[in-house]
Structure 1
């Protein structure tokens, strides 16, 4: 069978899709690639939270699967929202790459005053580390971000380390330890979403990594129970069942954090409920600051 694979057209998305295609080809499976444009790619001049909720890079690919234009789509799993359309299934989750953020800069760390990122989580964590920093919005693909850094618009920028690795980019900077700068849930993970076709799902399951699937399922269970959306600074990271999750205020001055060993999805949901109860005021405050209604 020939598997029609959809992808965004960015260099990173194409690199991730190439990884999936290579794995499938090694199993003797023919693939056909199709590029799909998404709203997140088309609107680049504003922060992500002003475009819409989590999923701005996913919806067009979901529609293409449901309309039978493609059989499956490759995503950064952190972009996939909790609520999914009926008829879709995450058929494969690849072995996780680095979950960490990477602070790209040249020169002395002490000279860093202005950092670029569009993530409220990264902004809050950086301000927690150093309240004197200025954090300015930064959108665009990796090349665009690196160009703005080289032009001196920022002293440093934050990128996902996994993305740099997949693109073969080596630049000066430091890996931010995920235990302190807790990443977005599922960061560093490539997922393949398909229609709920048993024969297709069986083919794609051959490239699934069970350990990564368990860890990211725990992260997603916590994320779903907290229900803070992409507007709230929140990091969730699980490795081998060891869970770290935190919600921060937008200015990074206050944090609610849990750190537990978790074995089951039910345990993960219980930890998510506990974090939501403790961080309710921080979540509501983030929504209010951004002018978005929040239903507790």
Structure 2
């Protein structure tokens, strides 16, 4: 059986897909790579929240699976929205790489004044850490971001450490501790999404890492209760059942946070509901300031 695997065309997406292809190859499974362009790849001049949030990297691949053009797709799991079309299944969650953010800088860290990121979460967390820094929007693939920093447009940029590792990039900078700079839910995790075909799902399940799946399911359970996606500055991170989740104001001055041990998905949902109740004003404020209408939520 040969499996058609869909992927975005960025270097990072291709590297992640090659990881999946190699793992399947060791199992004797033949594969065919299919590159599909997404709105997130073609619209790079505006922040993600202005073009639909994290789902812009996923919809075209979802459509291709449902249309039968491909059998499955490889994603950074943090890009997969909370609510999914029927007929799709997360067939495998690979062992998690580093969940942390990484600050790459061209000047000494003490002299960093302008930081590039388009993430509302990263912006809020950076401003909480240092209200005097300037945050400027930055989109594009990893190479583009690094090139813009090297050209002097930014003193520093924020990247996912896992992405740098997968691309084999070594660059001056520091890992930001995930306990303080709480990452996006599922950051550092590769997922394989397939159509709900039992034989296909059985093959792909051989790539699954149970502990990582458990942790990211807990994170997604909290995310589903909070809502917000790319619009609201929120971080959610679970490791071996230890959950940290926070919602911030856009300027980083106010935070609602939970730090607890979770044993079941229902406990995670309850924690998410409690956090949303405490942080509802921050969530509403983010939507209002970013101009998101209620029917888009």
TM range (shorter): over 0.9
> Following TM superposition, by how much is the alpha carbon of 1:61 offset from its aligned partner in structure 2, in angstroms?
0.2
Map 1:46-195; keep pairs closer than 5 Å.
46-195=46-195
d(CA) in 1 for partners of 2:27 and 2:282?
Answer: 48
Aligned to 2:216: 216
Task: State the SS of the aligned residue for 2:211.
Answer: helix
d(CA) in 2 for partners of 1:217 and 1:82?
Answer: 11
Q: TM-score, normalised by structure 2?
A: 0.98
CA contact (8 A) 2:89 2:194 kept: yes
Aligned to 2:285: 285
Deviation per CA, 1:41-88: give whole Å up to 9, x if none. 010111111111330000000000001000000000000011111100
Q: Which consecutive aligned stretches of 4+ in structure 1 deviate over 6 angstroms post-superposition? A: none
Map 1:24-39; keep pairs closer than 5 Å.
24-39=24-39
Confirm whether residue 245 of structure 1 aligns to residue 241 of structure 2.
no
d(CA) in 2 for partners of 1:101 and 1:229?
Answer: 18
d(CA) in 2 for partners of 1:11 and 1:114?
Answer: 26
CA contact (8 A) 2:107 2:155 kept: no
d(CA) in 1 for partners of 2:49 and 2:206?
Answer: 36
d(CA) in 2 for partners of 1:121 and 1:35?
Answer: 29
d(CA) in 1 for partners of 2:227 and 2:33?
Answer: 34
CA contact (8 A) 2:106 2:150 kept: no
> Following TM superposition, by how much is the alpha carbon of 1:109 offset from its aligned partner in structure 2, in angstroms?
1.1
Aligned to 2:41: 41
Task: State the SS of the aligned residue for 1:263.
Answer: coil
Task: State the SS of the aligned residue for 1:206.
Answer: helix
Q: How many residues align?
A: 296
Structure 2: segments with no counterpart, 5+ residues: none
Deviation per CA, 1:100-124: give whole Å up to 9, x if none. 0000013311110000000000000
d(CA) in 2 for partners of 1:72 and 1:186?
Answer: 19
Aligned to 1:204: 204
CA contact (8 A) 2:55 2:79 kept: yes
Deviation per CA, 1:170-220: give whole Å up to 9, x if none. 000000000000000000000000000000000000010000000000000
Task: State the SS of the aligned residue for 1:257.
Answer: strand
Bigger mean CA offset, 223-232 vs 250-259: 223-232
> Following TM superposition, by how much is the alpha carbon of 1:227 offset from its aligned partner in structure 2, in angstroms?
1.3
d(CA) in 2 for partners of 1:86 and 1:249?
Answer: 33
d(CA) in 1 for partners of 2:283 and 2:107?
Answer: 36
d(CA) in 2 for partners of 1:268 and 1:209?
Answer: 20
CA contact (8 A) 2:15 2:167 kept: yes
Task: State the SS of the aligned residue for 2:207.
Answer: coil
d(CA) in 2 for partners of 1:185 and 1:252?
Answer: 18
Q: TM-score, normalised by structure 1?
A: 0.99
